[in-house]
Structure 1
Amino acid sequence: MKFKDILAIATSGSDDIAIAVAGQLAQQNGGRLSAFLATWMPPAIMAEGWVVSPVWGNVRAQVGAQLQADLAKLRSRLEMGMNPVDRVDGEALEPGQYPDAVAIRARHCDVTVVGCASSDVQASLVEAALFGSGRPLLLAPPRWKPRKIGQNIVVAWKPTREAARALAEADDLAAHAHQITVVRVDTDHTETDCQASGGAIAAHLERRGLSARSCVVAPIGRSEARSILDHAEAIDADLIVMGGFGRSRMSEFIFGGMTREIMRSATIPVLLAH
């Protein structure tokens, strides 16, 4: 799919990374940019079973005023950019509201861009867009330097439904890539199995006329996610494509997992699909 209708989700008026990555993608695809600014409404203050109305009312007013100020800054920035802009809106979200608020907006675009999950709140945004939208998600790393996305792609491959879907979502980017590297990390399987699996998907890409190669990376004391990130940095990749949450979220929360580590530690943009 060619990403033409792009949604950036920010959490403050100065949240530049998601906006910058979304803007780059819109520029290189001749696309249009929308933005949603999510602000968090603090939990209601309770005293002896009653809400302290004056305090809570003041808090709501302050959050609302800050949201409007941040929206004004965001609109001003987008108006000064090079990309056509569609919707720019925001909402002060109470606990439990953000999954639906994010997912419903993400369903009405080609791809959603969110900053890497540096906090539990940011992780909730990422998961809401990834699980609730049915659309791909692009993670924007905090230290990203502006450059074209998708020229040198790393595919973090496992023979799973999620990984296959992510690769399909990256179809247009892959079609214009100078190099695609299919990477398998040798953890639970033998090197021969990894080579066969990575080689099979690289051969599929070659049959479609794309420049692809495969390699097996030995973790050598590193996690699977760290091995992927290190290899991507070593070959100067500008995009990682991978399936998101091949295991259940609860399993990854308890035991750790590749997706969660990538969400927090990525140094280049990551395209995820579930």
Structure 2
Amino acid sequence: MALKSLIVFVDPSPGGAARTRYAVRLAAEHDAHLIGVFIAPTGWRRNPADGFVAGAVAVREMVERHSLFEREAAAGAIKNFEALAGRERVTFEFRSIEANNSNELARLHSLHSDLVIVGYPSPGGLPAQGTPAAMLLATGVPFLIVPDSWGRDGVANRILFAWNASREARRAISDALPLMTTAQAVTVLVIDPTKNASHGEQPGADVAHYLCRHGVIATVEQRQSEGKAIADVIREFATYDGSDLIVLGAYSHARTREFIFGGVTRSLLRNITVPTLIAH
């Protein structure tokens, strides 16, 4: 499936601007429609003293002050988004969500896109209590997390795909295939291959052949963890390889009624230094 509808959660910060530029470049490369979503802040949380305001005139002035703050925040966000999106030949639109119902509305908007782009650290444009992990589990839509400190111009030119022969990793292939087919190089990284019988006789070879049949320029690299955390091995290889995107399937398991991500996924999401696409 091609990438034709992208969502980027924006905010009025330098990281938000960098995230928008990233999303615009990605939309331009894939001829995709870009939707900017802004969680409009509520002025009611800014001044606890407002709770003690008394008198009709004072209350009216307080309401007007907060309404003005919210309107100015939304106006500033759409101005910044349109200025950045207008630099490329992409179709785009802007949507503003009220903070009071932002979790459900953010989920709803995400459901109707091919890829959602957010920032790191959290909330990265998402609602205050939202996380990419929770949104991924709630929607099934892949999330691409761009660290606020990311400054490279390229978008998904050198992709590192963490392959462990799992259902989640296979899902990540389907979600990231449009990016892989346009990348200059894709490295299939297999860690501790002999410890996982699911890889078959030649760990990584079968999936690399599969990707190549789809036009992906793929190579296989095998690494031993040698006691290191798997997440650290992935980060170190990304640095060594000059990767500008990490792709992985986010493993999770149910604990009572809550879904908990596996250790490798949690570790990677705690410290994102390279744009990372997670699928589930």
State TM-score, norm by structure 1.
0.79
Is structure 2 residue 216 aligned with structure 1 residue 178?
no
Cα-to-partner distance string for 1:27-46 (whole Å, 9 max, x where unaligned): 22222221111256578x99
Shift of 1:228: 0.7
Shift of 1:123: 7.2
Is structure 2 residue 72 aligned with structure 1 residue 69?
yes
Q: C-alpha distance in 1, partners of 2:144/2:183?
A: 17
Residue 4 of structure 1 corresponds to 4
Q: C-alpha distance in 2, partners of 1:165/1:216?
A: 21
Is structure 2 residue 188 aligned with structure 1 residue 150?
no
Describe the SS at the equivalent of 2:251.
coil
Residue 39 of structure 2 corresponds to 38
The answer to whether the 8 A contact 2:36-2:81 is kept is no
Residue 275 of structure 2 corresponds to 269
Q: C-alpha distance in 1, partners of 2:271/2:62?
A: 33
- Counting only pairs closer than 5 Å after superposition, residues 163-174 of structure 1 correspond to structure 2 as 163-174=169-180
The answer to whether the 8 A contact 1:160-1:246 is kept is no
Q: C-alpha distance in 1, partners of 2:26/2:148?
A: 16
Amino acid at match of 1:179: A
The answer to whether the 8 A contact 1:71-1:89 is kept is no
**Structure 1 gap ranges (5+):** 47-51
Among candidates 107, 112, 117, match of residue 113 of structure 1? 117
Shift of 1:181: 0.9
Cα-to-partner distance string for 1:152-208 (whole Å, 9 max, x where unaligned): 111111222221111111112211222211112229x62787684423212322344
Residues 247 and 92 of structure 1, relative CA distance in 2, 3 Å threshold: same
Q: C-alpha distance in 1, partners of 2:62/2:276?
A: 36
**Structure 2 gap ranges (5+):** none
Describe the SS at the equivalent of 2:97.
strand
Among candidates 74, 88, 102, match of residue 106 of structure 2? 102
Among candidates 213, 221, 224, match of residue 218 of structure 1? 224
Describe the SS at the equivalent of 1:80.
helix
Shift of 1:139: 0.8
Describe the SS at the equivalent of 1:170.
helix
Shift of 1:76: 1.6
Cα-to-partner distance string for 1:208-240 (whole Å, 9 max, x where unaligned): 443222222223453211211111121111111
Describe the SS at the equivalent of 1:124.
coil
Indicate the structure (1 or 2) with the bigger Cα radius of gyration. 2
Describe the SS at the equivalent of 1:154.
strand
- The range that moved more, 118-127 or 174-183, is 118-127
Describe the SS at the equivalent of 2:131.
helix
The answer to whether the 8 A contact 1:13-1:71 is kept is no
* CA RMSD of superposed structures (Å): 3.4
Residue 49 of structure 1 corresponds to none
Shift of 1:140: 0.8
Q: C-alpha distance in 1, partners of 2:119/2:153?
A: 17
Residues 213 and 80 of structure 1, relative CA distance in 2, 3 Å threshold: same
Residue 17 of structure 1 corresponds to 18
